[in-house]
Amino acid sequence: MKYFDISEFDCKHTGRNEMQEHFLQALDELRERCGFPFKVTSGYRDPSHPVEARKERPGTHTKGIAADIEVADGIQRRKVVEEALKMGFGGIGVAKTFIHVDARKHLENPMVMWAY
């Protein structure tokens, strides 16, 4: 990876990391296209991670195909979303301080966007 260290994607609960290479390559390209650095606030999550354990079904973070990207303002938020859409990320979640991107299309799920 050009812009990230694999340890940035470690599960904050267990330290495990099962990120998928194709997703990491896409995230690196997204960073290149955005033209500004961004911090990954959540990458891989073990199914035992408290956020995942509360869910009926573990989410895309547990499959190693999702990341939450910290954004500083509306300009960065729009740029990340715009480029992620162009690149075909399957899931995009928009929050005030971060953007979730995932590769759910590889799981044959519909492409979706939501707000937190």
Joined together, the tokens standing for residue 52 give 């995942």
Inform me whether the pLDDT recorded for 104 exceeds 70: yes
Place of tokens 């995932």: 102
b/e map 3-24, b = 16+ CB within 10 Å: ebeeebbbbeeeeeeebeeebb
- Is 102 strand, coil or helix? strand
- Under a CB-based contact definition with an 8 Å cutoff, are residues 105 and 90 in contact? yes
- Under a CB-based contact definition with an 8 Å cutoff, are residues 38 and 70 in contact? yes
pTM score, two decimals? Answer: 0.93
pLDDT tens by residue, 69-81: 999 999 999 999 9
Instruction: Name all domains of the chain by residue range, CATH numbers in brackets.
Output: 6-115 (3.30.1380.10)
